[in-house]
Amino acid sequence: MSDISFDDFLKVDVRVGTVLRAEPFPEARKPAIKLWIDFGDEIGEKKTSAQITAHYAPQTLVGKQVLAVVNFPPRQIGKFMSEVLVLGMPDAAGAVVLVGPDMPVPNGGRLH
């Protein structure tokens, strides 16, 4: 692991958003779900895909608050343009568990 400066950390814009819509992404190479996330008035709605099918079904994600990096450039995933990177941690088997606040917070709030 290499060290980064505090200024490097500040360049990463991590915000909270609420999942508005979620759909299966069968065209993806690995099982994934498409997400549309509301990041509040300043950032608005952004979309992404995530390989989170081990623990989540699309219908269970709507209304869930998640953390995402919002200042990466968009990335083409098949025919879908991913605009943010949702954050998660691997469980004991390596499947992704999403990271989010443990109580409701306003959409668009930045990680401190």
Confidence of residue 79 (pLDDT cuts 50, 70, 90): confident
* In a domain? residue 110: no
> Which structural domain, as residue segments, surrounds residue 45?
6-98
Instruction: Judge residue 56's burial from the number of C-beta atoms within 10 Å of its C-beta, 0-12 exposed, 13-18 middle, 19 or more buried.
Output: buried
Domain total of the chain: 1
Q: Confirm whether 1 is domain-assigned.
A: no
Q: Is residue 31 part of a domain?
A: yes
For 49, the 3-state DSSP assignment is strand
**Among residues of the chain, what percentage have pLDDT more than 90?**
88
CA distance 17 to 63: 9
Q: Which residues make beta-bridge pairs with 16?
A: 67
Residues 40-70: pLDDT tens digits? 999 999 999 999 999 999 999 999 999 999 9
Task: CATH number of the domain at 20, please.
Answer: 2.40.50.140
Q: Can you tell me the mean pLDDT for 16-25?
A: 97
